Amino acid sequence: MFSQDLLAWHDRNARDLPWRGERDPYRIWISEIMLQQTTTQTVKGYYERFLAAFPTVEALADAPEQAVLKLWEGLGYYSRARNMHRAAKRVARELGGRLPDTAEGLRALPGVGEYTAGAVASMAYGRRELAMDGNLVRVLARLTAESGCVGEAAVKRRLRAAGAALIDADRPGDFNQAMMGLGRLVCLPGRPKCEACPVAAHCAAHARGLAGQLPVMPPKAAKRTERRGVALVFRGGRVLVRRRPAGGLLGGLWEFPNFPDATDEASLAECLEELGVSVGAGRRAGAASHVFTHLVWKMEGWIFAANALPEAEDLRAVDAAGLAALPMPTAMRCFRGAAERELAGRPASP
């Protein structure tokens, strides 16, 4: 039987992870949100630090958003953290501090989609729900020899129905984790290790010699490249930073003022004038690139001295300690280092 063979393999091969065997819905939810789009190795340290700071859903709900974003710094996809914070407030204040115990109830929370709802419902509450991540899609497409593109709605429905028929009634959470583990360790993209697969006897693609050709993936969209100038503006041991708008890319995080297409000294100075900042001659502070899901930033940094630095709700001048305390995106890491060196009296070099 498929589920028996799969779970027997899982019991022998499951990795020792901080959340493995966890039954607390809150802790499972935190781990699953973090694991979206992020490697297990990266998440382990963040998971433990995050729960040390916010051990309960009430603690997370009561925390300032900036504190949540600071602990999330470096994990990327920051909308996950903002949605998680919003969801915690709803759970703490409207649901008596207990996460919903059904997939339907979980999906009503901000930032909780089909995958996360299935994962939490199955692992925390023993619900017979499928947690359809990319690994499960790949495994199910091969098990069923699905020839359609997995990006199509009808194909997704077929795969979900196939998975729902297989899920173990007694150990649904372990089943989902076993399927994820199988996709991560054995049923790999491109070159599956069929000879090591514990469920190869159940796999239609393997039987037909098609495993390496499946699943059929949708074409990848080309990433748009955007050139930006980044301004490190100093005065009196402080550097100018601004907070991005709450919605959209990197919402709520702090950054150094940066502007599309203003990658030279004169263009950046003009953009800063529009912020009410007058600067003298600049010098280069290096270059960096950052790749988002749909976008690539190509950045040129410049260092300026200003006659005065403005203060506003989303625009402020901070010293070295203030800079270290702010949540900033990984995209700014190179320029943050340059600013730290400058504030420490060790001028940054290109």
Phi, psi values for residue 300, rounded to 5°: -115, 125
Q: How many angstroms separate the CA atoms of 140 and 137, rounded?
A: 5
The predicted model gives 112-129 an average pLDDT of: 96
Residue 18: the pLDDT is 85
Candidate list 32, 129, 255, 342, residue with the active-site label: 32
| 10 pLDDT higher than 90 | yes
The answer to whether 279 and 272 have CB atoms below 8 angstroms apart is: yes
The predicted model gives 6-31 an average pLDDT of: 92
The predicted model gives 27-37 an average pLDDT of: 93
| 75 pLDDT higher than 60 | yes
Q: Domain 224-343, what architecture?
A: Alpha-Beta Complex (3.90)
CATH class (in words) of the domain with range 2-213: mainly alpha
Residue 83: the pLDDT is 94
The predicted-structure confidence for 313-345, as pLDDT tens digits, reads as follows 899 999 999 999 999 999 999 999 999 999 998
Q: Say which DSSP state 202 is in.
A: G
Residue 17: the pLDDT is 86
| 349 pLDDT higher than 60 | no
What average pLDDT does the chain have? 94
The predicted model gives 101-123 an average pLDDT of: 96
Active site residue 22: no
The predicted-structure confidence for 240-265, as pLDDT tens digits, reads as follows 999 999 878 898 999 999 999 999 99
Which residues of the chain does CATH 3.90.79.10 include?
224-343
Res. 137 pLDDT band, cuts 50 70 90? very high
Q: DSSP letters along 251-266, please?
A: TT-EE--EEET--SHH
Grouping H, G, I as helix, E, B as strand and the rest as coil, residue 41 is: helix
Residue 126: the pLDDT is 96
Phi, psi values for residue 283, rounded to 5°: -140, 155
Question: Following CA atoms 210, 212, 215, 216 in sequence, which dihedral angle do they give, to the nearest 10 degrees?
Answer: -90
| 347 pLDDT higher than 80 | no
| 164 pLDDT higher than 90 | yes
The predicted-structure confidence for 266-316, as pLDDT tens digits, reads as follows 999 999 999 899 999 999 999 999 999 889 999 999 999 998 988 888 999
Helices (H) and strands (E) in the chain, counts: 15, 7
Which residues of the chain does CATH 1.10.340.30 include?
2-213
Residue 108: the pLDDT is 96
| 350 pLDDT higher than 50 | no
| 81 pLDDT higher than 80 | yes
Burial class (CB in 10 A: 0-12, 13-18, 19+), 107: middle
| 201 pLDDT higher than 80 | yes
